[in-house]
């Protein structure tokens, strides 16, 4: 089922997409201004990370928690699960949201949700990529046909959607390249909702030239809650940051 795609707003240089169930923040750090701006939301525990983009992604998560939800950044610690996915830990046993990070080139993204799980992916075009060869190796026949017609733009749309789908389940490339909901592949530069395999899925892809981005949000039907029943820290307050 087609859904009305939410739109970005820009807050202090951060591109922010907000919905009732998840938030997505993306920054471009081409000149280093984003990492400098987000530095106050960093933590000394982040400095062990080798990639500057990973440090900025964690700061972006704390920025989102404070700017969107009014939660103090020092309450939150981020570490990696065994598979490498980011895990947010709140002080004093606070309920915590699910996180997803992605970075490509100078672009850095963070997705956050309080209910269910989220996956995001960012990709950039490159002249060295053989779109048709990759599509034939990894994608379905309908996807291959779209790539033959539209080239790398179609490849990156399907790839970001598949990566986000896998990340929303805490899985990697094998899941991204396995069987996915048919509706997922209709979300190219669009947004769709569907029920598949016992969960409610929201899938969206778009591009902000040259960046392709996608987000997939998943809520198991067995645990689905109404919006006002989503578990959050008692001091969380949804802020209007427009």
pLDDT of residue 84: 75
Does the bond joining 210 to the residue before it have cis omega, within 30 degrees of 0? Answer: yes
Burial of 140 per CB tally in 10 Å (0-12, 13-18, 19+)? middle
SS3 199: strand
In tens, the pLDDT along 44-69 reads 888 778 889 999 999 999 999 999 99
Do residues 119 and 165 touch, judged by C-beta distance below 8 A? yes
pTM (predicted TM-score): 0.90
Q: Can you give the pLDDT at residue 233?
A: 58
Among candidate residues 156, 167, 205, 198, the one with its CA nearest the CA of residue 181: 198
- For residue 227, what pLDDT is reported? 45
> Among candidates 210, 166, 209, which has minimal Cα distance to 184?
166
pLDDT in tens, 168-208: 998 888 888 888 999 999 999 999 999 999 999 999 999 99
pLDDT of residue 4: 67
Average pLDDT, the chain: 88
Cβ 147 vs Cβ 135: under 8 Å: yes
* Measured distance CA(144)–CA(1) in Å, rounded: 23
Give the three-class secondary structure for 195: strand
Report pLDDT digits (tens) over 113-158. 999 999 999 999 998 889 999 999 999 999 999 999 999 999 999 9
pLDDT at 118 (0 to 100):
97
Q: All domains of the chain, ordered by start, with CATH?
A: 9-222 (3.90.470.20)
Measuring CA to CA, which residue among 178, 36, 38, 193 is closest to residue 109?
38
């Amino acid at each position: 089922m087609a859904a009305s795609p939410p739109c970005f707003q820009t807050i202090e240089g951060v591109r922010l997409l907000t919905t009732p169930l998840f938030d997505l923040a993306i920054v471009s750090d081409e000149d280093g201004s984003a990492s400098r701006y987000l530095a106050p939301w960093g933590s000394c525990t982040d400095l062990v990370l080798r990639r500057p983009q990973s440090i900025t992604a964690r700061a972006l998560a704390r920025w989102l928690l404070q700017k969107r939800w009014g939660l103090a950044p020092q309450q939150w610690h981020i570490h990696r699960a065994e598979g490498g996915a980011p895990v947010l830990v709140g002080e004093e046993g606070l309920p915590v949201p699910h996180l997803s990070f992605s970075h490509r080139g100078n672009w850095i993204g963070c997705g956050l949700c309080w209910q269910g799980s989220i996956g995001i992916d960012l990709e950039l075009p490159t002249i060295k990529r053989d779109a048709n060869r990759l599509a034939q190796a990894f994608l379905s026949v309908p996807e291959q046909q779209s790539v033959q017609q539209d080239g790398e733009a179609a490849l990156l749309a399907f790839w970001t959607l598949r990566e986000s789908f896998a990340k929303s389940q805490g899985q990697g490339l094998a899941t991204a390249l396995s069987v996915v909901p048919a509706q997922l592949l209709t979300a190219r530069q669009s947004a769709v909702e569907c029920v598949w395999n016992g969960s409610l899925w929201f899938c969206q892809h778009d591009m902000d030239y040259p960046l392709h981005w996608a987000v997939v949000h998943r809520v198991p039907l067995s645990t689905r809650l109404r919006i006002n029943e989503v578990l959050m820290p008692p001091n969380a307050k949804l802020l209007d940051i427009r």
